[in-house]
């Protein structure tokens, strides 16, 4: 079942991509619910995304995440909601992939197909060092009047970081074309659209390092992140 976001017109929407199977983390472990510094990776991601977006949603299995959100937010106080960056925000939605089993590109496509906003932040649930300042920086680059790019994406470490990037809603068309063609690599779809790449030097000048984009994919990654 596909869950639609509220039709309210907003300038920014944020999506936490949590549809992965966490297979590299080990049997029975869902990294979205891993504790990291006293907070789950999911709550951490929702917090930073909610700090900079008008609407926030999770892209993943509705059966798994809706029950969690309903139970969690029904008992939160106003102060706790504010600490998660969700006070006065829309956060009641879990969006399922339209193209099931096709990886993160399918998550981005589903998010954009349901988005009420022109500019849309995509953030993988397993990036614990992403800050609200970094996300605000990405939005500022995407909103620059000189920048008419469809995708605004940072480059750090081993390459582009498409799971911490801003997409215009029209990218859903490009994503759908790629998915229908059986092409699931996100940045392989970039040559067909205008892309603004924020390189490492620009990130460093703004105070952001490669560590911001660290992924927790394995138990070893978790230990390294907590070290």
Reduced DSSP (H G I as helix, E B as strand, rest coil) percent helix, strand, coil of the chain, to 5:
40, 20, 40
**In terms of residue numbers, what domain contains 175?**
10-18+28-226
Enter the pTM of the model: 0.85
Place of tokens 């937010």: 73
Indicate the number of domains in the chain. 1
Residue 80: pLDDT band (50, 70, 90) is very low
Q: Report pLDDT for 87.
A: 46
The answer to whether the beta carbons of residues 33 and 67 sit under 8 Å apart is: no
Could you report the per-residue pLDDT of 124-137, keeping only the tens digit for each? Answer: 999 999 999 999 99
User: Does the pLDDT at position 151 exceed 90?
Assistant: yes
Instruction: Residue 94: give its domain's CATH number.
Output: 3.90.550.10
2: in domain: no
Q: Report pLDDT for 204.
A: 97
5: in domain: no
Which tops the pLDDT comparison, 153 or 215?
153
User: Does the pLDDT at position 35 exceed 50?
Assistant: yes
Residue 26: pLDDT band (50, 70, 90) is low
Which tops the pLDDT comparison, 69 or 198?
198
79: in domain: yes
């Amino acid at each position: 079942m596909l869950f639609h976001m509220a039709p309210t017109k907003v300038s920014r929407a944020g999506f936490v991509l949590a549809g992965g199977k966490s297979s590299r983390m080990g049997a029975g472990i869902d990294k979205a619910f891993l504790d990291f510094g006293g907070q789950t990776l999911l709550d951490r991601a929702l917090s930073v995304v909610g700090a900079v977006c008008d609407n926030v949603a999770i892209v993943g299995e509705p059966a798994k995440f809706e029950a969690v959100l309903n139970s969690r937010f029904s008992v939160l106080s106003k102060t706790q909601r504010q600490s998660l960056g969700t006070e006065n925000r829309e956060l009641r939605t879990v969006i399922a992939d339209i193209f099931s089993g096709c990886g993160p590109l399918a998550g981005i496509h589903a998010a954009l197909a349901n988005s009420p906003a022109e500019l849309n932040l995509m953030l993988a649930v397993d990036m614990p060092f992403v800050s609200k300042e970094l996300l605000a920086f990405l939005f500022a680059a995407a909103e620059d009047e000189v920048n008419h790019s469809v995708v605004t994406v940072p480059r750090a470490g081993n390459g582009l970081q498409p799971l911490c990037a801003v997409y215009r809603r029209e990218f859903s068309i490009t994503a759908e074309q790629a998915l229908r063609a059986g092409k699931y690599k996100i940045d392989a779809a970039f040559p067909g659209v205008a892309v603004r790449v924020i390189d490492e030097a620009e990130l460093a000048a703004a105070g952001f390092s490669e560590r911001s984009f660290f992924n927790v994919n394995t138990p070893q990654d978790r230990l390294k992140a907590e070290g």
